[in-house]
Amino acid sequence: MLPELVGIIAGFVADPVDLFVLLRALPRYWIGPLFEALLELADFVPIAHLWPRLHLPPTATGRISTLLHVAMAQHPCVIVDVDSAALWAAHVTPSTQLSSSIDKSAIDTLPASILRRLVSLDVTLDTTIRLEFLWTCLDSLPPLELLRTDTARIASAGFSFPRGGNVSLATINALDKYLRSQGVRSVHLRGMRSAPETAAILSRAIGAAPILEHLSLYDAPTLVVALATADLTRVRQLTLNDVSWLHVETLWAKLPRLPLLRELDLWIDHGRLNDDEFSRFVAVVRSLHLTRFSLHAKNLLLNYPERDRVLLAAIANHHHLTSLALHFVMLGNDGIALLRQALPSLPRLAQLDLRYNAYDDRCLPQLQAIVARSQWTRIDLADTLSTAAEEALQAAARCLHFDAKCGAGLPH
């Protein structure tokens, strides 16, 4: 395969991960020549210019392994996930900047030697790494002591637990020690179901984390309740996913006292709030100073004609907002008209996501006026419009996308 042809292919592959999607789609006998051509092309155009990150596959034949070893030596950013760790970690050279992503791995089955190798590479190469662990047993005590070092800079740590029971006190204590000892900027907790007293332990640890800026909680009801008394003043990004209003209301009322909070994702399992609850909810929205707001609250506006006006007026108060998502709130045609009226108050808004809502072709003129703004980088709309309406809108905005799964909840 000629280097010129590889260059043409590379021009169509924007995401470095797509390189291996491409390889899997090719006949097996093409893969070796393709890599040889890539290495040949690297004499003229470095691979790092074609793909800024080299994401290593979990398996490779001997020949491809050899070729990738050469590519790794020439590439400034190599990504190794847990499935690839045993295969590649020993071959990463000191000149390579390692970015290791252990994504949803079974930490209790990951060899300690591999984990130590990844951490030692991070120390040697002075880079940051992101770790996501999936516990396969609620009572397993994770080997987090391997990660507690003074020099390793773990930028993001995620911990996921299986549904069906409470996380053990031993695991909570291990997380407590880890979060207090590490300078982790981002923490993601999924399936963190625990008794109130153990949730309080973890809540205090989160509040004591010295440089925590991004906190994501998925299906962690008791922890959400406990965090209402934690010190979250350093948090800039907050995600509360798969929670009920009953669990989140106390913490929600505290959000205006978080001076640095700029990005907020809220996914409540239903949005059927009574009038008093809705008033308290909107009062908090109005008092924040957000650059990104994502709200998933099923039926929040359904059968309440004036709620869309109140909610959109509160959102319009965020003059620095750059990204807005409203999912399942049942925004209708009147709501689209109100949103159009609110847009002059949101001059920096560049991304808009209105999937899973209730508007139809009757609001087409309003939608056309909305998509006509020049500053949009992406707009997502529900698949509730006719084909003719979709085509009319797409003719006016290339950044427009329609979701074909309207009515089905998607994970956040």
Most confident of 29-38, 61-70, 353-362, 391-400: 353-362
Candidate from 7-16, 28-37, 62-71, 386-395 with smallest mean pLDDT: 7-16
Distance CA 274, CA 267 (A): 17
Percentage of the residues of the chain whose pLDDT score is greater than 70: 60
DSSP SS3 for 265: strand
Strand partners, 297: 268
Distance CA 164, CA 191 (A): 9
Residue 224: the pLDDT is 96
Comparing 201 with 170, the larger pLDDT belongs to 201
Residue 114: the pLDDT is 55
- pLDDT digit string, tens, across residues 288-330: 999 999 999 999 998 898 999 999 999 999 999 999 999 999 9
Buried-state track 304-318, b at ≥16 Cβ within 10 A, e below 16: beebbebbbbbbbbb
pLDDT above 60: residue 123: no
Q: What is the mean pLDDT of residues 221-243?
A: 95
- pLDDT digit string, tens, across residues 241-290: 989 999 999 999 999 999 999 999 999 987 789 999 999 999 999 999 99
Name all domains of the chain by residue range, CATH numbers in brackets.
272-411 (3.80.10.10)
Residue-averaged pLDDT of the chain: 77
What confidence category does residue 166 fall into, taking pLDDT thresholds of 50, 70 and 90? confident
- pLDDT digit string, tens, across residues 45-61: 555 565 566 666 667 76
Residues 6+ apart with CB under 8 A from 14: none
Distance CA 45, CA 30 (A): 21
Phi and psi of 160, rounded to 5°?
-115, 140
Do the bridges between strand 186-190 and strand 214-218 make them parallel or antiparallel, or are there none, so unpaired? parallel
Distance CA 353, CA 325 (A): 4
Residue 245: the pLDDT is 93
Residue 125: the pLDDT is 35
Residue 408: the pLDDT is 32
What confidence category does residue 69 fall into, taking pLDDT thresholds of 50, 70 and 90? confident
pLDDT above 90: residue 4: no
Residue 388: the pLDDT is 94
What confidence category does residue 113 fall into, taking pLDDT thresholds of 50, 70 and 90? low
CA 42, 31, 91 angle in degrees (round to 5)?
60
Positive or negative: CA dihedral 331, 334, 339, 340 = positive
Q: What is the mean pLDDT of residues 366-383?
A: 93
Distance CA 279, CA 151 (A): 48
Residue 410: the pLDDT is 30
Other beta carbons within 10 angstroms of residue 153's beta carbon come to 15
